Each structure stands twice: as structure tokens, then as C-alpha cells.
Structure 1
Amino acid sequence: MEELAFLENASASFVDLEMSGPPANPLPFGRATTGRAERVDAMVLNPVTGEHLEVSNIIYERHPDRRPPDRAYWVGRKLKKCIFGVVKECTLLRFRNDALVPWEVTSGKAAVKIMSWQKIRELQHIEDPIKEVSAMQYISEGGQHPHVMGVLDVLKDEEYLLLFMPFCSSGDLFGFVQQAGRFPEPMARYWFMQILEGLTHLQKKGVCHRDMSLENILVDEYRTAVVIDLGMCLRVPYDDGETGGVADVSAGTLRRLINPLIPCGKPNYISPEVLKSEVPFDGFAIDLWATAVMLFIMLVGLPPWEFAREEDPRFRMVARGGLERMLRSWNREISPLAADLLQKMLREDPRQRLSLEEVKVHPWVLYEGGGAVPQAPGHEEWRG
């Protein structure tokens, strides 16, 4: 039943959604759940060398019933700054139940976003990290997905909110494009298909990301693309199937269009209907639009436009079916199949764009020409 409902939504047209019911506001996410953070200095065993080392800045969840923690995080080097604080790399520790040397180093890594409560209070009107935590916990229900960033632990103390996540060691996909200039089509397809799997998971959960971009795709050590940054996402409304009211994705019905909202996201990637902010929009369609822009940049090495507005001559050319002509003028031609896919995903009218299911069965996506698994850039970086 759930799979049938997903397929119906993944193939639904804008017209289908207009007939599903009146536009609605996004649904709220559930309340974020947090554990109590305990920060200690302790002895740690290196199981490879047998050495004991006293280390500082070990964080774990303090359970009310005082049962032993499941794991701990040895917080290490700074990876980057973020709006509310800093992101750091962590080493996962295993509890040994030994009073003298209570922890043991493992090969596991994590990243922690350390957010100041003071900063959260000051800037919550701009961006709400509590909502991002709620969304990530919602997305992670039922287990981690390989192509969407999930949550390991969410802890707090008097000063900080601590969001622990899987560690991605190879930077973001935008860095790969910058290094390469542009991708050969087999490499672009390799990444694009993984991004589509991430979108599929979000759609199955009834979530619109709203900020899809190459900068928001991290790459792990196994060359897996992971969608990150759910700070702007929306929980899509669905028809309740009975009274004409609004339900969530679990209703197994068609989703509704969403009432206009203030535009957000990175300018290159925002769809024209969201930029205008005058008419209802389809949450899934705007993510697919941004994904098409991502594919364009991977294949061409440049963004298609600054803003998807009539005033931009590049947008006007693509909107009128001239994508291939524009690329010939740039001396950046791509295959006819790739151009066909992009042209059909980047139609100005959302009623004419491809659905997720149509994108997945497009001949360019299904092409079996293959290609080598891409290599990471020469430096390691985690960007969240």
C-alpha cells in the first residue's frame, strides 16, 4: 500500500495535484527529542597498541536510570564554522565497563554540530536548528538511509545543542565539480542516480527539501552521495481522503500543493514559481527543478542562470526550448539525450515538467554505458 501510494505521488502531475484538493500549508514536524549530554575526561584504551591514554572532551548521553551509555564521542578537530557555532570531527568510543579505563577507541567516525543556545535564541527567527533536528529525526525513523543524512544522537547541556551525524570525509559534490571543471556524462550519471535515490527517500517520507544544491551533497569514503542540510525542508500536506481535510504521507493519498511562501535556498537553484511567490507550488517539483540545475552544473561546469526569471536572457532561452542552442553558443555541448532530459526538467510551467518517476525512466538515466567510480578531490574536508 505504501509503495503504491509513493508511486502514485512520484508520477503525479501538477494538474493531478490541483484536482487533489485546495492548496494547504506545510505540516509541522514533531517535537525534537534530546538526551542529556555528559562531558568528561577519561582514560581510553587503544586496542591496536594496547596503550592507555587520558583524553579530554568525551561526550555521551547521561541516562536518567544511570545505565551505561551505548557509545561516546571523543570530540576532535574543527571542520568548519556554522551559523550557530562549529562543526567538529569525532572518534566513536565503545564503553568497556572498566572503572579505570572505561572507554575503547573504535574505527568509527562522526561529525558533531555544536550549537550555542545563545546564538540559537538570537538567530532562530532566521533559521531554526530545532526544526532541522526534528526533520532529521523524522527522516531517520526506521533506520538510516544511505543517501540522506540522518542522526546518531542529539544531546544538550546548559550551553550547547549537540547534533551528532555520520561523518563524510570527502567534501561536497560542488568541490568535485570545481576540481574537474565539468563531469563526463558517465560520472554525472553516477552522482545523479544517487541524488535521485535521496529524493526518493524524502518523497516517501513526505518531505520537500527546498534547498537542494551541489553544496548540500556530501561524499563519504565509499563514494556515496548524501543529501544534507534539512534546515529549510517542509513536511508536505496530503489529502485526508475522506473529509477534504489535510493529512500526512501516511494517509496513502495524493499530496496537496503548498501555499506560497517566502523564497529560500540558493539563487541559482530556486524554481521560477517559488521566486515569484504568487501561486501555490508542488514541494516535490521544486526539488526536482533544483536537481536538474545540479545536473546542468555537473555536465556544463557553469550554472544555467543567476535567477530563473524572465529578465535573465539565459533563462528566457531555456524556457523557450533553446537549451541545446545556448550550450552550443557556450561551446559546452552535451549529448542529445542529456539535453532532452534537462530541457524537460527545466520547463518554466510546472505542469509540463517531468515527475520523479519520468526522470528515473528517462533514456539518459537508464543508459548502461557505465563509467569509472570517480575519485575524491586531493584534500579531505567535511562541510555540513
Structure 2
Amino acid sequence: MIMLWLPAAVSLVLSSSLHVAGDAGGGAASLSVRRYDAIFSFGDSLADTGNNPVVFDWYSIFDPVTRPPYGSTFFGRPTGRNCDGRLVLDFVAERLGLPLVPPFLAYNGSFRHGANFAVGAATALDSSFFHGAGDPPGASPFPLNTSLSVQLSWFDSLKPSLCSTTQGECKDFFGRSLFFVGEFGINDYHSSFGRRSMQEIRSFVPDIIRTISMAKLIGDGATTVVVPGMIPSGCSPPVLVTFADAGAAEYDASTGCLREPNEVATLHNSLLLDAVEELREKHPDVTIVHTDLFRHVSEMVQNPDKFGFQKDVLSVCCGGPGKYHYNTRIICGDEGATTCVDPSKSLYWDGVHLTEAAYHYIADDWLHAITLSARATS
């Protein structure tokens, strides 16, 4: 049985980076510069392609992503993705000519072309952190531990089936693979909003940055790693609902987004980039592509027409009655929830998660960034 609980967070550091800012729509650039044979992904529900239902089933917890209308836009059925269709990871795999990355816990076939360890609700910090002082008894939002350290342990368990114990063979295999680490941090922060003070939340941002790990993967032979930053949390419908009583001065008048949650995300992204820039010289042959999710989503919020989204861009496509069409008691997939006619006109799918249309735009930018980084180091 695969263990979900680990005694402590594995504290690892970023080791190298190449910060590449791509243009939205630059994904048409050729990817022939570098051939990747596999993709390995770590993260949360923005990247999970089917692990979460398995984890929830082990503990008899219902997962709404197993119901329609999840998956309706592309797959025609629920697949375990928190989306109406494909995620960024899916678009990247398609563009690289690779199979869609299979979820590690829900797939019995070969992982020679990669594996996805991302799990919905995963945190950067181990779940024990959220059982600390200040939490009412039984109020932890994370009864299961699927943090980054746990996902890395799953990766370790898979390695013997991918390459021999010979270090050179593994380094060669992983050197021809593309690694995605994150996004991590959304669940750490969003679960704390409304439960902890903003000052306390800011205080553990450095701990989250230290936990986002490149060092172990580089030691295993990774030479290309994609590291997404944080989304603009203050624009996320669940966060907006959490702070429903916020005063007018707490919002950005031009976007309708909350200032303080966005400031936490900005701090996260700033420290992430500082760590990347500080340590990249340690591994000059390793390319880490930083992708700016904050910028991507902010552009869509600020200019919905440019991307074909509805004017009421902060409202979700699939949800229950209430402001932003988001209701914590009636969520997408529940009886009483309703779905918009055309998900491609919406930025947000069911809450924090985006629609396939939004992920497609983001994937174009990431692919462009990967291409530029490959050229820069080739």
C-alpha cells in the first residue's frame, strides 16, 4: 500500500533557473530544439489528471470531480480532472507528441513516457502543519497528506521500474524528461485565509518556498524543470466568497480582486524568483523555466474580451446560487448546481480551477517559454 502520511516535510531548495517570459500565443513556436521522451508532474488540482479520486476512495471520501459535468468539453466524461476538459499539462503533452500524462495512483500501464503525481488539495507543506495551534479541534482542511514530500516519495518508488540502479542510466533517462514542479502554495494559503491572520500567513511563505524542491530531482538527473508561480489569489472566487464582508477599499476597483490575498501571492512569487536567481549558478547545465501564473490569470481578468471571456469574468461556469455563482454548500457536480452554456466563455470553471479554454491560453505561453529556454541552453 502506498503511504499517504510522512513524519515531516522534506526541506529542499531550488537549485537553478532560467526565467523566461513568453508571449501569450507564442506556443506555435517549434519545439524541435529539444526532444522530451517523458513528462513527470508534481502539484495540486491544477495539474491532477486523476489521482484525487483514488486517494479519496481509500478513505471513503466523495470526490465531486467523478460526476458530470466534469470532463464534458473534451473527454465527454469525468476523468478526475478539476476542469471541463484538458489541463495545461495535457496541452503540453499533446504538443510534444507524448501520451497524456497518466495519474500515478490510477494507472496500471507503463510509465515510460512519464507519470503524474499531482493530487487535488495537495499542499507544499506537510499536512501536520495545518493541525497546529489556532485550529479548532477537527477543523484541519487536510485530513490526508498528499504534500510535495509525499509525491516525491511516490516518484522514488517508481524509479526502479524506469531505469536500473546504475546512476548513469537514470540520469540519461531523466535528462530526456520534462519535469513540472507545481504550482504549489494555493492550498496552503487558501485554506488559511479566514482562519489565520494575514501576518501569520505571510510568515510561512518562506517555509513554502524552501519546500518547493528542485534539488532532489536534479540529483536524479532532471535537466529541464518547469516551476509555475502562484495565481492571483485575490481574484479566485472561493477567496472572494471567504472575504464576502470586505470593505470597498480592500478591493482593486479596476478588477474586483482582493488586494491582500494578491499581496500574499506576490510575496510568494517574489521569494520564489529570488531563490531561483540565487541558486541557478549551482547547476549551469540545468534549465528551470519559471512560468508566471499570476500574470497569465491577471491578464485574463483585466482583459476578458481579448480572450473571448464573458464580462463577468470572476463568476464560475459550474456552481451553486450566490455571488460569483460559487456556493460552498452546493458545488459543481452537486444536485442543484448549474453549468454555463458555453464553458469556453468563462475563465473559472468551478471555483479556483480554470476552464479548458483558459488552460489552453496558458499552455501556449508555457510552451513558448520551454522552447526559448531549450534554445538558450542548446
State the TM-score bracket (shorter-chain normalisation). under 0.3
Q: Which structure: larger Rg? A: 1
Q: Which one has a larger percent helix, Structure 1 or Structure 2?
A: 2
Scaled by the length of structure 1, the TM-score of the pair is 0.22
Q: Flag the structure with more relative contact order, 1 or 2, with Cα contacts below 8 A and sequence separation at least 6.
A: 2
Q: Which one has a larger percent strand, Structure 1 or Structure 2?
A: 1
